[in-house]
Amino acid sequence: MSSQSAIEPVSLYVHVPFCPSKCAYCDFNSAVVDVSAAAPQVHGDLRRASAVPERDVGDAYVDAAIRYITEASETGVLADVPTVYIGGGTPTLLGSRLVRLVRAISDLPGVGPETEFTVETNPETTGSELIGQLVEAGVNRFSMGIQSFDDRVLTTLGRCHDSPAAERAAGVLRGSRVPFSVDLICGVPGQGGESWVESVGRATGTRAGHLSIYPLSLERGTALAGAVEAGLIPMPDPDVAAEMMESAAELLELAGFERYEIASYALDGQQSRHNTVYWTGGAYLGVGSGAASMLPVGVLRQLSPAAGQAARADDEWRARLVWTTTVTGFLTGALEDAPMQLETLSPADALREDAMLGMRMSVGISDELAEDAGVVAVMESLADRGLVMHAAGRWRPTEHGWLFGNQIFSAILGAE
Amino acid sequence: MTTDPRYIRNFSIIAHIDHGKSTLADRILELTHSVEARDMMEQVLDSMDIERERGITIKAQAVRVMYDSDDGQTYQLNLIDTPGHVDFTYEVSRSLEACEGVLLVVDATQGVEAQTVANALMAMNAHLAIIPLINKIDLPAADPERVRHEIEEGLAVPADEAVLASGKTGEGVREALEALVRHVPHPTGDPDAPLTALIFDSYFDAYRGVVALIRVIDGSVRKGMKVLMMATDVVTDVEEVGVRRPANEPVDELGVGEVGYLITGLKDPSLVKVGDTVTLAKHGATEQLPGYREVKPMVFTGLFPIDGDQYPELRDALDKLRLNDPALIYEPESSHALGFGFRVGFLGLLHMEVIKERLEREFDLDLLATAPSVEYHAYLTNGEMVALHSPQDMPDPSKLDRLEEPYLNTTVLVPPDYVGQVMELAVSRRATFTNMQYLSKSTVELHYEMPLSELIMDFFDQLKSRTKGYASLDYEPIGYRPSKLVKLDILLAGKIVDALSFIVHKDKAYDRGRVLTEKLKEIIPRHMFEVPIQAAIGTKVLARETVRAMRKDVIAKCYGGDISRKRKLLEKQKKGKKRMKNIGNVEVPQEAFMAILKVDE
C-alpha cells in the first residue's frame, strides 16, 4: 500500500470532548454531554446509519473514532505507535464504551506491549471495575486531574469532586498496579501556602509516580474569569503562584521526584513518554473533535492524499492539523473530507519550534539542534540573563529560566 | 463669460459638529444635479477618510451649483463648506469672509450648542445674512419649537422663518435654497477695478502644484495674468482658473463675486496662505483685504517613530501632509529616551489627533506621541524671550526671570443643572470665572479665562463626562500671562526620561506628580527587576512608586493541542512588546507618554 520504506513512529492521541460538568477555570475543548442520549441521525449515509440504529452519543463517538483509527491504520501510518493517549474532556465518562475503544486500539498491528497507553480520568469516574477492564484491555498508565486536596479550593475551581473522592479514586488507581499521574493547580485565589503544601504532600501520598503542577491561568470567557471580573473572587496573584511552583519543586525533590519539564515531575522512569513526544518534535496523529496532529508531510500524504495535496509542501516539511469539526460532524463525517485546519511548518520553523519546546524540559536541547535552529546567539544572550545554561553539549533552562519560560520561548521564536 | 453678480449667491453652512452639515450639503448637490445620486459617495465634500469617519470637516471646500429658482431665474450658488471645529477658527473666518450669507444649521434634537453660538457670532461680525435651518426634523426626538426659541433667545436671530429640514430625507432642502436666493444679498464689486481676490483655502495637487480656492471681490482673473500674492509678496503667472462642481472645471475667467480655483504653478504651499489677497502684479490693489493673519500652532507634541529606522519615512510623510496643511509645522527633535523625531505644532488637539492618525494610517508608521504642550514664553534675566515648544527647552533657573503661558477665553454652554460640576472642574483647572448668562431656560453660557495648558489636559473629555455629554465648548486665545511654572521630571529606574517631562503650575506639581507616578505604575508592565518611578523637580523628589519585579512569566501547560495556540499567544505578546519603547532596560508602553493627559482629578 505504501511505498515508504522506513517506518516512522507515530503516536496516537484520541480526544474525548465530554465532561460530567464544566470546571470554572476550563477553556479546553470539552462540553457537558449526556453520552447515553440518542446519537444524532447520520445524514447522507443511510446504509451506515441503519446498520446501527440504536446508538447513543458515547457509542457513536467511539464508533467514529475506531473507524478513523482503522482507516488510518490501513494506510500504514500507524505501523509503529510508541505511545497512545486518550485525553479529554473526561474519557472515563464513556464507561464501558471506552473499553471498546481501548481494545480496538490495542488490536492495531502497530500497538504492542511496549506502547505506553495512557487514559485520562477524574475522581468521579474512576471506578475499580472500569479501571480493571481498561488495564485488561491494554491501558498501562492513568492521568487523573485532582487539582487540590482542599475542598475550599475545589469549590473555587468549580470541580465536582471533594478530597475524599480524590483519595478514593487514587486508591482505585493504586490498586490497579499501573503507574499513574496526578494534576495539581496552584495560585488559586484564597488558596494559602499551607493548603498548597498539604495538597502536594497528599498527592505524593497517593503513590502517584508522576505529578503535573500548573499555576492557575485565568482564561477569557470562563466562569472563573467572570467571577473575578464581577469582584466575587480576587484576581489570581502570579507572585503567589510563582512561590507555590517553587515550593512544590523543593518538596517534590525531597520526595525523590525529578522535575523533567516545567510542570512535570516524575519518579525514576515514570516520565510521560507521550508528552515527551510533544516536546521533542515527534509525530502524532490526533483523532476526535478538536484533536491536533503533527505529522511530516510525507506521512500526511500517506494518510490522506487529499490533505497531502492541500499541504502543498515538500515531504520534509511538517503539517499540523486540527480537527475543526463539531462532535456531530465527527460522528457523521468521513476521514477524507473532515474539516481540518492545516498549518505547514518549513524545516526551519519546525526546528525552531523543536528548540522552543525542548527548552521546556530539563534535558534542554543539543548544540546540534541549537545550531540547526539558528538560536545559538539567542541562547548565549539568555545565558547572560541567567535564564539558560550550557553544559555537556546541551542548552538547558535554569530554575529561574523555568519561571520565566515565556522569555526563553519568545526569544527562540523571534530568532532570525 | 462671467455671471452677473445679481444671480450669484455665496453662502456657507455652519453647524456644531454632528448637526448634519455634510449630509445637508450632499442633498443640495443632489437637488441641483451636481452629483448623480447613484455615483455619489456619502458626503462628497468631506473627502478625507478621517473626515468621513469622524463626521468632521478639516479642509474648506467650494462647490458651484446651478439652481433653477421658483422666480424663473437660474442662480449660481457657491457653497463654501467650512471646517467645523474650534481648532480651525481662523480658517472658518476666512471662508465666511468669502460669503454673503450662511445657513445656520441646528439639530432639532440637540438645539443650540457652543459652536453654534461661536459660528453665528462670527457670521454676524462678518455682516452675513443668517438663515436658520432646523435640521433632522424627521427624528422622533425633534423639538423644532424649542430649538426655534433657543435660536431667537440665544443667538438673537429671528427664527420665525427658520427652514425646517431633514438632510436625511431631503425635506426642506429646496425651501432652504429659495430662502438663500431671497434673503442672501448678491455680491457687489467693481468689475473695472484691479483684481482683488481672497484666498480662503488651498490644497496641493501632485501634478498642478498648489491650488488656491478664491473669491473674487473686484475685477476678474484670467489665465495668463501675472498676479501678486500680497502677504507673501510672490509674483506668479495664472496657469488656470476654474470652478469646482465638485470636480475641477476650467473656465476662461472668474469675475466679481465668483468663487473658484486658481492654479499658479507654485509648488511651495507656504507661499499661498489662507487669508491672503491676490491682485495684479502691475497696477494692482494697494491694500490687502482685511483680516489676514499668520496661523500659529497652539499645541505642540513630540512625534517619534517607534522603530528608529522609520525616521526618514516620518520626515517624508510630514513633508507630504504639509503640502495640504500649511498650518502643520515641525522641526527635528531628539530625545535621550526616544531617539530622533519631530516636535510638531498643531492648531489644536483635534488637528493633532487627525495628523497622527493620518501618519499612521496613510504612511504606515508606528508613532509615539509625547504629551502635548503649549508654547511657553521664558523671559531671561537679560531681557531676552525664548519660546519653549518642549519641556526640554526650559532654560537654567538661574537665568530665568519669569515664565508666561497662553490664556484662553473659554465659553461653555451647559444645562443649568450642571453648572456646579462645570464650576468645580474649571476651578481645578486654574480657570477664572468672568461671567454667566442664561441663553434660555435650558442653557447657561459660562465664560472663563483659563490657561491653554489646562485645556489640553483632558479638559474636554472631563467636561463631557461631568455633564453627561451636555456641555459644549468653544475658546479663543487672549494672549500670554505670567505664571508660576516648573518643569517636572519623571525618573524610571533612577534615570530621567526626558520625553515624560512636562511643565506644570507650581501649585499643582505635587498632585500631578503623585497621580502620574501612580498611573505609570499601572501602565508599565512588570519586569524581571524592580522599576522605581519618581516624579521630581530638579533634585527634589515629589512622589515615588515602584513596579514590583515579576516573579514568573510562563505558560506552564503545553501539550499537542496547545502548541499552536500558545505559539500565537507568544507571538502576540512579542508584537505587543514591539509597540513598546525600550528606555534603558525598561519597556515603556506608548500610553505612558500620554498618561499625563488622563490624570483624573
Helix (H, G, I), strand (E, B) or coil at A366: strand
Q: How far apart are CA B481 and CA B406, in angstroms?
A: 6
Q: Do B556 and A262 touch (CB under 8 A)?
A: yes
The pLDDT score that the predictor gives to residue A46 is: 41
Beta strands A83-88 and A116-121 are parallel
**A343 vs B contacts (CB less than 8 Å):** 564
Highest mean pLDDT out of B92-101, B513-522, B583-592: B513-522
Chain centroid offset of residue B265 CA: 28
The pLDDT score that the predictor gives to residue A47 is: 42
Residue A64: its H or E element? helix A57-74
Task: Answer yes or no: is pLDDT of A362 > 90.
Answer: yes
Number of H helices, E strands in chain B: 14, 33
Task: Answer yes or no: is pLDDT of A169 > 50.
Answer: yes
**A237 vs B contacts (CB less than 8 Å):** none
DSSP-H helix ranges across B446-543 = 452-455, 459-466, 506-523
Q: How far apart are CA A144 and CA A100, in angstroms?
A: 20
What digits encode the pLDDT tens for the residues A182-203? Answer: 999 999 999 999 999 999 999 9
* pLDDT, greater one: A61 or B581: A61
CB A352 within 8 A of CB A374: yes
Among the listed residues B207, B197, B202, B264, the one whose alpha carbon sits nearest the alpha carbon of residue B234 = B264
CB A226 within 8 A of CB A195: no
CB A77 within 8 A of CB A299: yes
**CB neighbours of residue A160 within 10 Å:** 15
Task: Answer yes or no: is pLDDT of A145 > 90.
Answer: yes
Which of A162-166, A170-174, B265-269 is predicted with the least confidence, judged by mean pLDDT?
B265-269
What digits encode the pLDDT tens for the residues B109-154? Answer: 988 887 787 778 778 878 899 999 999 999 999 999 999 998 888 7
In this complex, which of B556, B560, B574 lies closest to A263 when CB atoms are compared?
Answer: B556
**B574 vs A contacts (CB less than 8 Å):** 410, 413-414
Q: How far apart are CA B459 and CA B600, in angstroms?
A: 10
Task: Answer yes or no: is pLDDT of B601 > 50.
Answer: no
Residue B175: its H or E element? helix B173-183
Task: Answer yes or no: is pLDDT of A332 > 50.
Answer: yes
Largest CA distance in chain B: 88
Report the gap between the CA of A263 and the closest CA in chain B (Å): 6
Straight-line distance from the first to the last Cα atom of chain B, in angstroms, rounded to the nearest whole number: 63
Beta strands B485-492 and B531-537 are antiparallel
For residue B519, report the phi and psi dihedrals to the nearest 5 degrees: -65, -45
Task: Name the pLDDT band for A54 (thresholds 50, 70, 90).
Answer: low
Among the listed residues B373, B362, B405, the one whose alpha carbon sits nearest the alpha carbon of residue B302 = B373
Q: How far apart are CA B473 and CA B466, in angstroms?
A: 13
The pLDDT score that the predictor gives to residue A327 is: 79
The pLDDT score that the predictor gives to residue B69 is: 94
CB-based contact, B575 to chain A, within 8 Å: no
The pLDDT score that the predictor gives to residue A53 is: 54
Helix (H, G, I), strand (E, B) or coil at B502: strand
A33: left (phi over 0), alpha (psi -120 to 50) or beta: beta
Residue B524 grid cell: 508599565
Helix (H, G, I), strand (E, B) or coil at B482: strand
Among the listed residues B225, B171, B169, the one whose alpha carbon sits nearest the alpha carbon of residue B195 = B225
Cis peptide before B255 (omega within 30 of 0): no
The pLDDT score that the predictor gives to residue A96 is: 95
**CB neighbours of residue A5 within 10 Å:** 5
Residue A59: its H or E element? helix A57-74
The pLDDT score that the predictor gives to residue B519 is: 92
Residue B259: its H or E element? strand B259-263
What digits encode the pLDDT tens for the residues A380-395? Answer: 999 999 999 999 999 9
Task: Answer yes or no: is pLDDT of B38 > 50.
Answer: no
Cβ neighbours of residue A143 under 8 Å, at least 6 residues apart?
Answer: A87, A118, A119, A120, A121, A180, A181, A182, A183, A210, A212, A272
What percentage of residues in chain A have a pLDDT greater than 90? 76
Q: Do A278 and B563 touch (CB under 8 A)?
A: yes
Residue A96 grid cell: 464501558
Helix (H, G, I), strand (E, B) or coil at A131: helix
Residue B172 grid cell: 426642506
Q: How far apart are CA B488 and CA A115, in angstroms?
A: 69
Residue in B528, B552, B574 to test binding to A, most A beta-carbons within 10 Å: B552
CB-based contact, B127 to chain A, within 8 Å: no
Task: Name the pLDDT band for B581 (thresholds 50, 70, 90).
Answer: confident
CB-based contact, B567 to chain A, within 8 Å: yes
Q: Do B573 and A291 touch (CB under 8 A)?
A: no
In this prediction the pTM is: 0.67
Which of A268-277, B68-77, B325-334 is predicted with the least confidence, judged by mean pLDDT?
B325-334
The pLDDT score that the predictor gives to residue A351 is: 95
Strand positions, DSSP E, B171-247: 196-205, 209-218, 221-222, 226-229, 234-237, 240-244
For residue A258, report the phi and psi dihedrals to the nearest 5 degrees: -105, 130
Report the gap between the CA of A52 and the closest CA in chain B (Å): 31
Task: Name the pLDDT band for B362 (thresholds 50, 70, 90).
Answer: confident
The pLDDT score that the predictor gives to residue A383 is: 96
Helix (H, G, I), strand (E, B) or coil at B544: strand
Read off the pLDDT of each residue in A324-329 and give the average, rounded to a whole number: 78
Task: Name the pLDDT band for A336 (thresholds 50, 70, 90).
Answer: low
Q: How far apart are CA B265 and CA B253, in angstroms?
A: 17
The pLDDT score that the predictor gives to residue B573 is: 79
Among the listed residues A111, A87, A91, the one whose alpha carbon sits nearest the alpha carbon of residue A100 = A91
* pLDDT, greater one: A133 or B1: A133
b (16+ CB within 10 A) / e for B537-567:
beeeebbebebeebbbbbbbbbbbbebbebb
Task: Name the pLDDT band for A113 (thresholds 50, 70, 90).
Answer: very high
In this complex, which of B528, B560, B571 lies closest to A404 when CB atoms are compared?
Answer: B528
Task: Answer yes or no: is pLDDT of B407 > 50.
Answer: yes
Task: Answer yes or no: is pLDDT of B44 > 60.
Answer: no
What digits encode the pLDDT tens for the residues B278-318? Answer: 999 999 999 999 888 777 788 899 999 988 889 999 999 99
Q: Do B560 and A214 touch (CB under 8 A)?
A: no
Q: Do A343 and B574 touch (CB under 8 A)?
A: no
Read off the pLDDT of each residue in A250-275 and give the average, rounded to a whole number: 96
Q: Is B233 exposed, middle or buried (0-12, 13-18, 19+ CB in 10 A)?
A: exposed
CB B297 within 8 A of CB B357: no
* pLDDT, greater one: B84 or B289: B289
Per-residue DSSP letter, B327: T
Amino acid present at B65: V
Task: Name the pLDDT band for B85 (thresholds 50, 70, 90).
Answer: low
Task: Name the pLDDT band for A330 (thresholds 50, 70, 90).
Answer: confident
Read off the pLDDT of each residue in B337-341 and give the average, rounded to a whole number: 89
Q: How far apart are CA B407 and CA B141, in angstroms?
A: 38
The pLDDT score that the predictor gives to residue A49 is: 45
CB-based contact, B570 to chain A, within 8 Å: yes
Among the listed residues A80, A84, A36, the one whose alpha carbon sits nearest the alpha carbon of residue A62 = A36
Cis peptide before B246 (omega within 30 of 0): yes
Q: Do B552 and A290 touch (CB under 8 A)?
A: no
Read off the pLDDT of each residue in A30-49 and give the average, rounded to a whole number: 66
Task: Name the pLDDT band for B37 (thresholds 50, 70, 90).
Answer: very low
Which of A66-70, A128-132, A144-148, B307-311 is predicted with the least confidence, judged by mean pLDDT?
B307-311
DSSP per-residue string spanning B265-308: ----GGGS-TT-EEEESSS--SSPPTT-------EEEEEEESSG
What percentage of residues in chain B have a pLDDT greater than 70? 94
Mean pLDDT of chain A: 90
CA-based nearest residue in chain B for residue A411: B574
CB-based contact, A386 to chain B, within 8 Å: no
CB B407 within 8 A of CB B375: no
* pLDDT, greater one: A72 or B371: A72
Q: Do B558 and A294 touch (CB under 8 A)?
A: no
CB-based contact, A345 to chain B, within 8 Å: no
Among all chains, which residue has been given the C-alpha cell 505644532? B345
Residue B111 grid cell: 438645539
The pLDDT score that the predictor gives to residue A51 is: 47
CB-based contact, A280 to chain B, within 8 Å: no
Dihedral sign, Cα of residue B490, residue B495, residue B497, residue B501: positive
Q: How far apart are CA A139 and CA A103, in angstroms?
A: 9
Task: Answer yes or no: is pLDDT of B500 > 50.
Answer: yes
Among all chains, which residue has been given the C-alpha cell 455682516? B127
Q: Do A409 and B555 touch (CB under 8 A)?
A: yes
Among all chains, which residue has been given the C-alpha cell 502635548? B372
